[in-house]
Amino acid sequence: MTLTFDKTQYNQLLFQYQPKIIKTEAENEKALTIVERLMHQKNRSLEEDALYDLLIVLVEKFEREFYEPGLLSTPESMLEFLMEQQQTTAIDLAPILGSVTIVNEVITGDREMTITQVKQLATKFGVEPSVFI
């Protein structure tokens, strides 16, 4: 007997769990809870296997980008990421970098940060200065 993938059942699983790109630790924890439940479930259906595989990819992507950002990012992208995560605007960073124009130039890669700016940004965002180097 060959098992067949039931799209309707898979759609129901997708509707129930609504997987999406993970952007926060809370969303990651929620996905990990589902992954763990599925991992220990005996006789998973093909549809549950597909959901499990999808969630693993989403969790791995989040963890790679969130916990090992230096491997995949630039100082500019890291700054932009931290600004988004902490809801910080260019206006908020103007006192540290000098002006809104300079903040925008740093984000676009048109200007490099000084060591002093790197240290101040690291303190503001609660990260190691190496994140911006």
Closest CA to 113 of 128, 91, 98: 98
Predicted local confidence at residue 50, as pLDDT: 93
Q: Dig out the tokens for 18 from the structure.
A: 């609504």
Residue 68 has pLDDT above 60, yes or no: yes
Question: What rounded mean pLDDT belongs to the chain?
Answer: 89
92-112 pLDDT tens trace = 999 999 999 999 999 888 999
63: left (phi over 0), alpha (psi -120 to 50) or beta: alpha
For residue 56, pLDDT over 80 is answered with: yes
DSSP helix/strand/coil, 68: coil
| Confidence check: pLDDT of 48 > 70 | yes
Confidence bin at 132 (pLDDT 50/70/90): confident
CA distance 41 to 27: 21
In this predicted structure, what is the pLDDT of residue 70? 54
Question: In sequence order, which residues have a C-beta less than 8 Å from that of residue 119 and are 6 or more positions away?
Answer: 129
Residue 64's pLDDT is 80
- Tens digit of pLDDT for each residue in 25-41? 899 999 999 999 999 99
